[in-house]
Amino acid sequence: MFRLGALPLSVMSESTTPALPPQPTEVQRRAVPSRAVIVAIGLALAVVALVADRVTKHLALEHLSETERIPLLGDWFGLQLAFNTGASFSLGSEMTLLITIVGILAVIAVTIAIIRTRSRLWAAGLGLVLGGAVGNIIDRFVAEPGGGRGAVTDMLAYGNWFIGNVADFVIGVGVGLIIIAVIRTPTVRTTDAADDADDAENAEDAAAAEVVAEEPRGDTKA
């Protein structure tokens, strides 16, 4: 009869220590943009959209007429000056101040969303929405009668449907990018309950591994 010695500590450790998840490579780390870069993308597009909106509105006030349309694509699209006291498609023209307040709240919410997002596509879409919204809100205060009740300057005539402006256009593009981002985003659990469940599962795994490591190993006889 002979007694086998205890297994080496290194062997025990290898058999009881749970495998660690693979760590991201340096290339993968560099491929993920930082939050500062993502925020910069959103704010930069917001500034571009805002400048484009203000410039085109200034040019429209200087060179376009409310009674004459300049055709660019026949009767489908042209340039014509118009003023809108309501929201899109002239809806809510009697609630200009309320629309302004809602717009300001939307600007605050979109700005917070840009700061918190981790996606460049989301940041781009939100940035365009932000720039367009700010452009139209400025009109509410600088156009007569002012005080949040001013009319928005429009100049892009879409057939006989409606007349909009660059701010409306970039907001539409931004919403389109956000929809694409939503479609492309994989389903993830983001609720507190899901996080708690993950924490509990990880704690159970750690406890099980600790129990296995501390189990007494009997002597083997032959």
Query: What pLDDT digit, counting tens, does each position of 102-150 carry?
Result: 999 999 999 999 999 999 999 999 999 999 999 999 999 998 887 888 8
151 in a structural domain: yes
Query: 185: pLDDT confidence band, cut at 50, 70 and 90?
Result: confident
Per the domain annotation, does 71 fall within a domain?
yes
Which residue among the candidates 53, 75, 139, 168 is catalytic per the annotation? 168
- Is 168 annotated in the active site? yes
Which tokens belong to 212? 């296995």
CB burial of residue 167 (10 Å; 0-12, 13-18, 19+): buried
pLDDT (0 to 100) of residue 8: 54
The answer to whether 44 touches 131, Cβ cutoff 8 Å, is no
Residue 87 maps to a domain: yes
Q: How many domains does the chain have?
A: 1
pLDDT at 84: 86
Distance of CA 192 to the CA centre of its chain: 21
Query: Does the N-terminal peptide bond of residue 18 adopt cis geometry, omega within 30 degrees of 0?
Result: no
Higher pLDDT, 191 or 153: 153
Catalytic one of 154, 195, 199, 219: 154
Q: What is the pLDDT of residues 44-59, one digit of tens each?
A: 999 999 999 999 999 9
Assign 105 to helix, strand or coil: helix
Which of these ranges, 28-32, 134-138, 190-194, 202-206, has the smallest mean pLDDT?
Answer: 190-194
Structural domain for 94, as ranges: 35-185
Q: How confident is the model at residue 197 (pLDDT cuts 50, 70, 90)?
A: low
Question: Is 103 within the bounds of a domain?
Answer: yes
Answer whether residue 56 is part of any domain: yes
Is 154 one of the annotated active-site residues of the chain? yes
Over pLDDT 90: what percentage of the chain?
52
Residue 111: inside a domain: yes
Is residue 215 over pLDDT 70? no
- What is the pLDDT confidence band of residue 218, given thresholds at 50, 70 and 90? low
Predicted local distance difference test score (pLDDT) of residue 4: 47
User: 11 pLDDT band (50/70/90 cuts)?
Assistant: very low
